[in-house]
């Protein structure tokens, strides 16, 4: 059984890890992908059970030009294994699979992201909805074009 001092130390360490994760996320948002990746990878070494470190590495791999879909999938899958209830992770996994033309698998992750956020407040779930809406519009336009060509 940990002592109170041990518990306090663990809380301080977790707070420090979360601060590093916040900095890494800020770097990611600023497009400073190399710095973000370095911090997220360091977090994974310091705490291999911190899903957000794998989610971060996966998001960085997805954001690269060109994206590294294999690395994104591996890290996002690990993040989803550690925390299956994060809509952003599910959406990012869906996007990776969509880019790999694995449409059925992608749809499953988009649906899970939406199911995890019935109040429609999570940005990740909202992004999943936007992707689905965009794909639906494209599919309707393709059908319209096919119909107009068939009628001509």
User: Which CATH number covers residue 68?
Assistant: 1.25.40.10
User: In this structure, are 70 and 125 located in the same domain?
Assistant: no
The predicted pLDDT at position 9 comes to 76
Per DSSP, 131 falls in state: H
User: In this structure, are 98 and 60 located in the same domain?
Assistant: no
User: In this structure, are 17 and 70 located in the same domain?
Assistant: yes
Determine the Cα–Cα distance for residues 8 and 129; give it in Å rounded to an integer: 41
The predicted pLDDT at position 12 comes to 67
Which of 40, 55, 83 is at the close of a domain? 83
The predicted pLDDT at position 4 comes to 57
The predicted pLDDT at position 6 comes to 66
Q: Average pLDDT of each block of 10 consecutive residues along the chain (152 residues)?
A: 62 87 97 98 94 97 97 98 97 98 96 96 95 94 91 80
**Which domain range does residue 79 map to?**
1-83
The predicted pLDDT at position 1 comes to 47
User: In this structure, are 69 and 140 located in the same domain?
Assistant: no
| Confidence (pTM) | 0.87
User: In this structure, are 79 and 96 located in the same domain?
Assistant: no
The predicted pLDDT at position 34 comes to 98
How many structural domains comprise the chain?
2
The predicted pLDDT at position 14 comes to 84
DSSP 71-130: HHHHHHHHHHHH-TT-HHHHHHHHHHHHHTT-HHHHHHHHHHHHHT-TTS--HHHHHHHH
User: In this structure, are 77 and 4 located in the same domain?
Assistant: yes
User: In this structure, are 130 and 72 located in the same domain?
Assistant: no
The predicted pLDDT at position 3 comes to 52
User: In this structure, are 77 and 151 located in the same domain?
Assistant: no
User: In this structure, are 68 and 102 located in the same domain?
Assistant: no
Which of 67, 83, 99 is at the close of a domain? 83
């Amino acid at each position: 059984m940990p002592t109170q001092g041990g518990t306090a130390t663990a809380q301080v360490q977790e707070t420090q890890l979360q601060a590093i994760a916040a900095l890494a996320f800020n770097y990611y948002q600023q497009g400073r992908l190399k710095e973000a990746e370095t911090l997220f990878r360091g977090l994974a070494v310091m705490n291999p059970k911190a899903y957000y470190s794998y989610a971060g590495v996966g998001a960085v791999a997805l954001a690269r030009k060109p994206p590294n879909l294999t690395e994104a999938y591996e890290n996002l899958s690990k993040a989803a294994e550690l925390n299956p209830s994060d809509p952003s992770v599910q959406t990012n996994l869906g996007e990776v699979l969509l880019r790999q033309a694995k449409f059925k698998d992608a749809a499953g992750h988009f649906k899970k992201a939406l199911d995890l956020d019935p109040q429609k407040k999570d940005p990740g779930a909202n992004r999943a909805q936007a992707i689905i809406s965009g794909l639906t519009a494209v599919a309707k336009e393709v059908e319209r074009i096919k119909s107009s060509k068939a009628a001509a």
